[in-house]
Structure 1
């Protein structure tokens, strides 16, 4: 059980380096789950016939209510029926009420591993409890939740209970980020700020969708009056500032290299990187952090600046 708590604390800490997600999931969520429980009976001998007794296992079900505090943490409470303990005079239904602190680490735009630690109240006893699991965003509102948890020292038998479950969570007030890049009119150069989540692969400087850059590079080649092009890359404040600055530099240079590969003169391009500086939205919300992860391209033509 100590190993589970150490793993839980490690994942809670690693939530501070959590990366990008496709959805702004700040707010409440409500869920239901089905699963199975297993009680690890240390004393295998039956009181009646001294025959080995199997660890009791039954189906389980429950409902939960949670609140996402920010990008990294949530609080959660659940009520569960953990099955019927069938062992001599201690037979009876197991009901438990639990509260947890939950930490997330995003593996991709949709998937995140989580760890939780807290307490479970059962038969007038308060027991330590913890768990780990995986959440996957099915749609903007619905989330698949698979997990494992351990409740220590179940009353009457004083042994640990394990639960494996699968459930669905409904998230209130969720919005999905927009990946659309507004194409400039054919005969006019317009301001352009490109969303890094659209342009680059997850947590990387590798370009995955160069369509917005291709349109701009075409205009640069066609215009003979261009003086220079400035490229500046930014990140949000997730993770260490030094890492964010390094990532923004890599992304700015990747955009520069793409323009050069498309025939834009290298001498006309200036690059800059600001990391998490100069945010254009609040970093306290997921939607704000998505806006702050961006690349700005400033095209200078005869003393007229288009940004």
Structure 2
């Protein structure tokens, strides 16, 4: 029998180290159980080769300190065992310390060790079992336990039981599914000196456009895009107006080529209009030669 209790203690210690939560186990629980018991008769004067067995029933109450450690008490009736002239009815009250090892999100192995009171005698007791979460607050409890040196027989009693426990603690909230962040799309101003060849609508460096197209394709919110092209004041105004038109259309065509829905793209060209810097300096003229990509989401213009 000492080997049984040693095994229980080893499982208890491993439960403390490796327990994994499958539900919020904190708090009180109450349950009932039905089972079968066997009294291991070792007396030399036993008249039958079979050990006596009966049905058992009981109520269980316990408190879960956390996901792996509990205390539990149960009051059980083991029926009547005939030891001598009159059958003896065995009533037991037990208290245990229990450890659990969670093998899945719903199932946990447990081991318990403690004492049982039968009559006026205090007896060492221990057990093992499996708890399975049926719902957020109901769990199935199947177990086996041993009570040593039952009074009047000095023999060991084994019980196999199945029960249902109701847990009064708050159910653990379901894990929230966090959607990946939406790609950040901000209004973008592209410098024409970098984007296009000199005095041309031919794209020379498409890296910035490729990044913008990828973000637009990945967006989970429907947006529309307006492409507006500008020039500086160098050269005839009519020529600059046509050049800005060609550049806006070149950017549009490149977006479409990379998979952006053409239905959401609008183009505009302003030529020399709306300068953002002075056209009297080289640095200012470089800033004014630009393509702006403006986003419209839910009828709100981002620019």
TM range, normalised to the smaller chain? 0.5 to 0.7
Distance 2:36 2:55 in 1: 4
C-alpha contact (below 8 Å) 1:90/1:156 kept by paired residues: no
Q: Which residue of 1 aligns with 2:29?
A: 29
Alpha-carbon distance change, 176 to 221 in structure 1, aligned in 2, over 3 angstroms: farther
Q: Which residue of 1 aligns with 2:194?
A: none
Question: Cα offset for 1:179?
Answer: 2.5
Q: Which residue of 1 aligns with 2:280?
A: none
TM-score (norm 1): 0.58
Question: Cα offset for 1:173?
Answer: 1.8
C-alpha contact (below 8 Å) 1:22/1:177 kept by paired residues: no
Alpha-carbon distance change, 56 to 16 in structure 1, aligned in 2, over 3 angstroms: same
Q: Which residue of 1 aligns with 2:214?
A: 222
Alpha-carbon distance change, 183 to 99 in structure 1, aligned in 2, over 3 angstroms: same
Question: Cα offset for 1:175?
Answer: 1.4
Alpha-carbon distance change, 21 to 71 in structure 1, aligned in 2, over 3 angstroms: closer
Q: Aligned pair 1:116/2:112, yes or no?
A: yes
1:189-231 alpha-carbon deviations (Å, 9 max, x no partner): 8xxxxxxxxxxxxxxxxxxxxxxxxxxxxx999349xxxxxxx
Q: Which residue of 1 aligns with 2:58?
A: 62
SS at 1:52 equivalent: coil
C-alpha contact (below 8 Å) 2:94/2:114 kept by paired residues: yes
- Alignment partner for residue 127 of structure 2, among 115, 126, 131? 131
Q: Which has the higher contact order (CA 8 A, sep 6+)?
A: 1
Question: Cα offset for 1:170?
Answer: 0.3
Distance 2:212 2:177 in 1: 18
- Once the two structures are overlaid, the 10-residue window that deviates more, 15-24 or 124-133, is 15-24
- Alignment partner for residue 81 of structure 1, among 71, 77, 82? 77
Alpha-carbon distance change, 186 to 158 in structure 1, aligned in 2, over 3 angstroms: same
Q: Which residue of 1 aligns with 2:13?
A: 13
SS at 1:54 equivalent: coil
Aligned-pair Cα RMSD in Å:
2.3
SS at 2:30 equivalent: strand
- Alignment partner for residue 181 of structure 1, among 168, 174, 177? 177
Distance 1:21 1:73 in 2: 11
Alpha-carbon distance change, 90 to 6 in structure 1, aligned in 2, over 3 angstroms: farther
Q: Which residue of 2 aligns with 1:205?
A: none
C-alpha contact (below 8 Å) 1:26/1:173 kept by paired residues: yes
TM-score (norm 2): 0.59
Q: Which residue of 1 aligns with 2:40?
A: 40
Distance 2:14 2:76 in 1: 28
Q: Which residue of 2 aligns with 1:4?
A: 4
Question: Cα offset for 1:184?
Answer: 5.7
* Larger of the two Rg values belongs to structure: 2
Distance 2:119 2:166 in 1: 30
Distance 1:62 1:188 in 2: 62
Distance 1:28 1:129 in 2: 22
Gaps of 5+ in 1: 190-218, 225-307
Q: Which residue of 2 aligns with 1:286?
A: none
Q: Which residue of 2 aligns with 1:146?
A: 142
Aligned residues: 191
Distance 1:220 1:99 in 2: 68
SS at 2:85 equivalent: helix
Distance 2:153 2:120 in 1: 14
Distance 2:39 2:49 in 1: 12
